[in-house]
Amino acid sequence: MPFPYGLRRNVVQCLEDYNIPLYLSHTVTEILGGNRVEAVKIAKVDENLKPIPGTEKIIPCDTVLLSVGLIPENELSRQAGVEIDPRTQGPVVNSILQTSVKGIFACGNVLHVNDLVDYVTVEAQKAGLWAAKYALNQLSEPDRKEITITLGENIRTVVPQKIIPGLDTSLFFRVYKPGKNKKLNIIVDGNKIIQKHCPSVTPSEMLKADLKGEHTLNAEKIHVEVCE
């Protein structure tokens, strides 16, 4: 990619502080060696992520680490038959973090990959509260049908994916591409209910916004986007 996929502080503390170069828009095209790794051949990539001939470079090394991406711990979710979001690879949940299977709630890295443990804690407390209410038969059916959030410009994922009308909901987003001085818009029935200024956005860091229940009580459509 042409930008780092890690947290900015990790790029600074783990690479820049130790003068370790980060080759953006490059890929490993060949691992060289006999009985063990001796070097890698890298090349620049074009806008389609294809290696550009003539840009090859050999870097001596004795170890190759592969980053293949992170997905939620979804094995139990799949076994339980809950609906999985193809974008997050975790369960689809509503405002109280309940999955498509009644009585099953999801949070933390079972729900989506978090970059801050603080968010895991908040989600765990919320899921635990509503799970307890369900176990005690204190969880009533919502008066209106849940609203599925639609994703607009530069929004890759949103959690929760469904809103219970009239209930306060904390929303977590990830973007497709980085940018500076963007606006996170939450649009309810065509009206911009929340317009949050974001000095910078990056795919590796989640955005958070709190949607008040009073704004969704009679809502039909909820749309989110990150734009200029």
Q: Do 122 and 172 share a domain, yes or no?
A: yes
Is 1 within a domain? no
Is 187 within a domain? yes
Q: Do 53 and 105 share a domain, yes or no?
A: no
Q: Do 28 and 129 share a domain, yes or no?
A: no
pLDDT, tens digit, 9 for 90 and up, residues 55-66:
999 999 999 998
Quote the pLDDT of residue 141. 80
Q: For the chain, what is the mean pLDDT?
A: 93
Q: Do 51 and 81 share a domain, yes or no?
A: no
Quote the pLDDT of residue 204. 84
Is 70 within a domain? no
Quote the pLDDT of residue 196. 92
Q: Do 99 and 189 share a domain, yes or no?
A: yes
Q: Do 119 and 186 share a domain, yes or no?
A: yes
Look at residue 104 and tell me whether its pLDDT is greater than 80: yes
- Measuring CA to CA, which residue among 22, 30, 150, 159 is closest to residue 95? 159
What is the domain extent for residue 53? 8-60
Distance of alpha carbon 133 from alpha carbon 14, whole angstroms = 44
Q: Do 34 and 129 share a domain, yes or no?
A: no
Quote the pLDDT of residue 26. 96
Quote the pLDDT of residue 175. 94
Is 66 within a domain? no
**Section 29-37 average pLDDT:** 96
Look at residue 124 and tell me whether its pLDDT is greater than 90: yes
Look at residue 6 and tell me whether its pLDDT is greater than 80: no
Is 127 within a domain? yes
- Where residue 3 falls among pLDDT bands split at 50, 70, 90? confident
* Number of independent structural domains in the chain: 2
Q: Do 20 and 88 share a domain, yes or no?
A: no
The secondary structure of residue 10, as a DSSP letter, is H
Is 69 within a domain? no
pTM metric for this prediction = 0.82
Q: Do 81 and 37 share a domain, yes or no?
A: no
Distance of alpha carbon 6 from alpha carbon 78, whole angstroms = 28
Quote the pLDDT of residue 170. 93
Are the beta carbons of 152 and 225 closer than 8 angstroms?
Answer: yes
